[in-house]
Amino acid sequence: DAGVIQSPRHEVTEMGQEVTLRCKPISGHNSLFWYRQTMMRGLELLIYFNNNVPIDDSGMPEDRFSAKMPNASFSTLKIQPSEPRDSAVYFCASSFGQTSTDTQYFGPGTRLTVL
C-alpha cells in the first residue's frame, strides 16, 4: 500500500519566492498533520486537519504560512514570501483517527532550502 506521499522531495529557492509543498495522505485516513523539523527545534507541529477541516493552526509561524486541504486526498502548505529561516525539512503525516493514541504515519518529507 502507498504511504504518505509528498512532493517535491527537495526544493531550493531564493528568498522572497513562493513555495508550495504537497501531500497526499494514506487513503482512508481522516487526520493530516504538517510538521517542520530543524536541528535546533526538532519536530514542530504546524497545523492539523481533521476531515479536511483545519482544527488547530497555532503552530503556523506567521502569516507567510498557509495550508489548505481541498479534499481528503490532498493538502498543500504554502510559504509566501519565503525567508532563509524557513529552511527545514517539512513532513506531512496522516492518521486514521483523531485521538492522540492513533499512530501517525509520516511522509518522506520535503527538504526546503531558501537562499
Catalog residues that contact another protein under the rule CB under 8 A. Answer: 31, 41-43, 45, 48, 50, 55-56, 91, 98-109
Q: Which is nearer to another protein, 59 or 81 (CB)?
A: 59
Q: Which three cell numbers stand for residue 48?
A: 492539523
Minimum distance from CB of 35 to another protein (Å)? 8
Minimum distance from CB of 16 to another protein (Å)? 27
Q: Which is nearer to another protein, 42 or 70 (CB)?
A: 42
Give per-residue burial for 51-77: e unless 16+ CB within 10 Å, then b: eeebeeeeebeeeebebebeebeebeb
The answer to whether 5 and 68 are in contact (CB under 8 A) is no
